[in-house]
């Protein structure tokens, strides 16, 4: 009897091992509870991609399995979740991160553990430059790239006195630092006359708006997003902060942040964003139809990022013919794939993808925020030179 039980257990274990060998596990860590506006659509985008890829036969004959963990908006929790995914769940790759400080924590984890990590969303330049490492790649256009897209439009305004407002953590600091440097290079006589940097999620709109108004700037560069953005816009409208002033604003054209403004949407802000209703390329149409069919909803930018992140991993694993970290790193350097925004390449020199962004202006149309006069800018054209990147990034 004992032999029969032992044999049955061995057979069961063998079956389990065989099943495990037929699956590629993607471990994903993100701030789902803290940033639901972006991350709920993002997760839907990931799930759609997994479904499509598996329906087409998987990758290298294996199905994808997505395992997600919530980091509660805490770098420490993110690292603990990553460790649990790697050690207990035995995932093949890591992805995710939304807040830039969490992205940096996961970047360091990847370096210490020598484990492949695709930073799908966090924007700080440090992920691919100052804190960049062999094992980390990044999908979304960075703070440098988006600032570089906005600065030519800002310079055309020919405004001398600028104020800046941003959330006081890594993303906001990085975005403002780059914007200041690039605008100063494009317009040497520019002055930055006021700076407001409230803690993320703890904006006191009255004091911030009043401080900006007191400085009497000609133009404002805004990097606030989410609930902070909504409070800022409401108070700014109430106090007339935006009347007669130009505003350049990162991320505000993304439907996650533009839609909630509704009839409070300001007109004429120069923004980066995602006008999903007007993108008519074949690759975007295909994505839109599939997403709408599955969720009976329109995609947000998070949807595009989540979808593209999974397809990036699938393309890298297919090219590597393996999920071994070293082979994946080699495969991702120079990896090309098609996304809803067109062809994207992961640059070998800094592991940054060339995914671009739309730049346009906000318009309040019948109480709903939209983007108008927009154009898609290829991320490959908004990068520093290779020589500069070499100075900024430590050797792998």
Q: 85-109 pLDDT, tens per residue? A: 999 999 999 999 999 999 999 999 9
* Mean pLDDT along residues 120-144: 97
Which residue carries 């997003």 as its tokens?
A: 225
In this predicted model, what pLDDT tens digit does every residue of 371-392 receive, in sequence order? 999 999 999 999 999 999 999 9
Cβ neighbours around 332 below 10 Å, total: 24
In angstroms, how far is CA 126 from the centroid of its own chain? 14
Virtual torsion, Cα 51, 82, 89, 304, nearest 10 deg: 0
Paired tokens of 38: 């972006």
**pLDDT (0 to 100) of residue 21:** 59
**pLDDT (0 to 100) of residue 317:** 98
Q: Which long-range contacts (CB under 8 A, 24 or more apart) does 110-113 make?
A: 110/135, 110/136, 111/135, 111/136, 113/86
Distances (CA, A) of 81 to 72, 96, 215: 10, 11, 44
Residue 312: pLDDT above 60? Answer: yes
Q: Is the dihedral of CA 89, 94, 99, 101 positive or negative?
A: positive
**pLDDT (0 to 100) of residue 396:** 82
Distances (CA, A) of 232 to 16, 78, 82, 228: 54, 29, 34, 6
Cα gap 337→346, rounded to integer Å: 9
Paired tokens of 327: 């082979």
Paired tokens of 292: 């709408």
Q: Is the dihedral of CA 254, 379, 67, 298 positive or negative?
A: positive
- Report yes or no: 173 and 166 within 8 Å, Cβ to Cβ: yes
- Report yes or no: 311 and 339 within 8 Å, Cβ to Cβ: yes
In angstroms, how far is CA 77 from the centroid of its own chain? 19
Q: Is the dihedral of CA 260, 224, 212, 191 positive or negative?
A: negative
**pLDDT (0 to 100) of residue 5:** 39
**pLDDT (0 to 100) of residue 4:** 40
Rg (CA), the chain: 22
Phi, psi of 32 (to 5 degrees): -60, -40
Alpha-helical (H) ranges within the chain are: 2-21, 36-55, 75-87, 100-113, 143-156, 170-186, 205-214, 226-239, 255-258, 282-295, 301-320, 325-332, 386-392
Residue 2: pLDDT above 90? Answer: no
In this predicted model, what pLDDT tens digit does every residue of 350-364 receive, in sequence order? 999 999 999 999 999
Which residue carries 């794939």 as its tokens?
A: 337
Cβ neighbours around 212 below 10 Å, total: 24
Nearest to 151 by CA among 178, 124, 126: 178
Paired tokens of 26: 């993607």
**pLDDT (0 to 100) of residue 87:** 97
Cβ neighbours around 327 below 10 Å, total: 16
Helices 301-320/325-332 angle, 10° precision: 110
What is the C-alpha end-to-end distance of the chain, expressed in Å?
57
Q: Is the dihedral of CA 45, 47, 53, 59 positive or negative?
A: positive
**pLDDT (0 to 100) of residue 395:** 84
Cα gap 197→223, rounded to integer Å: 10
Paired tokens of 113: 């553990």
**What is the pTM assigned to this prediction?**
0.93
Helices 282-295/36-55 angle, 10° precision: 100
Residue 38: pLDDT above 80? Answer: yes
* Mean pLDDT along residues 234-256: 97
Cα gap 25→6, rounded to integer Å: 29
Cα gap 143→104, rounded to integer Å: 14
- Report yes or no: 79 and 103 within 8 Å, Cβ to Cβ: no
**pLDDT (0 to 100) of residue 189:** 96
Domains of the chain by start residue, with CATH = 2-141+280-355 (3.40.50.2300), 144-276+357-386 (3.40.50.2300)
């Amino acid at each position: 009897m004992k032999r029969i039980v032992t044999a049955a257990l061995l057979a069961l274990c063998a079956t389990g091992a065989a099943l495990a060998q037929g699956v590629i596990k993607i471990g994903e860590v993100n701030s789902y509870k803290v940033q639901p506006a972006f991350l709920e659509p993002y997760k839907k985008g990931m799930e759609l991609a997994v479904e499509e890829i598996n329906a087409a036969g998987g990758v290298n004959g294996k199905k994808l399995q997505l395992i997600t963990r919530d980091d509660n908006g805490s770098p420490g929790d993110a690292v603990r979740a990553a460790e649990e995914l790697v050690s207990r769940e035995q995932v093949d790759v890591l992805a995710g991160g939304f807040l830039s400080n969490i992205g940096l924590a996961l970047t360091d984890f990847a370096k210490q553990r020598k484990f492949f990590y695709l930073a799908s969303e966090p924007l700080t330049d440090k992920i691919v430059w100052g804190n960049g490492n062999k094992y980390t790649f990044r999908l979304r256009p960075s703070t440098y790239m988006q600032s570089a897209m906005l600065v030519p439009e800002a310079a055309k305004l020919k405004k001398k006195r600028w104020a800046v407002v941003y959330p006081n953590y890594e993303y906001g600091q990085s975005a403002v630092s780059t914007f200041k440097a690039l605008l100063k290079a494009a317009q040497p006589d520019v002055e930055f006359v006021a700076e407001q940097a409230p803690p993320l999620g703890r904006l006191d709109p009255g004091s911030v708006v009043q401080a900006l108004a007191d400085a009497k700037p000609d133009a404002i560069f805004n990097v606030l997003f989410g609930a902070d953005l909504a409070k800022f816009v409401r108070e700014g409208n109430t106090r007339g902060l935006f009347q007669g002033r130009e505003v350049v604003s990162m991320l505000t054209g993304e439907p996650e942040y533009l839609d909630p403004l509704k009839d409070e949407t300001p007109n004429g802000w120069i923004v980066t964003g995602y006008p999903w209703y007007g993108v008519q390329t074949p690759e975007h149409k295909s994505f839109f139809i599939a997403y709408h069919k599955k969720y009976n909803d329109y995609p947000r930018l998070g949807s595009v990022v989540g979808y593209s992140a999974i397809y990036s991993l699938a393309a890298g694993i297919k090219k590597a013919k393996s999920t071994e970290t070293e082979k994946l790193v080699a495969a991702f350097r120079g990896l090309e794939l098609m996304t809803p925004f067109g062809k994207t390449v992961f640059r070998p020199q800094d592991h940054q993808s060339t995914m671009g962004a739309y730049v346009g202006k906000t318009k309040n149309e019948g109480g709903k925020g939209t983007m108008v006069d927009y154009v898609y800018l290829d991320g490959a054209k908004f990068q520093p030179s290779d020589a500069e990147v070499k100075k900024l990034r430590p050797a792998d």
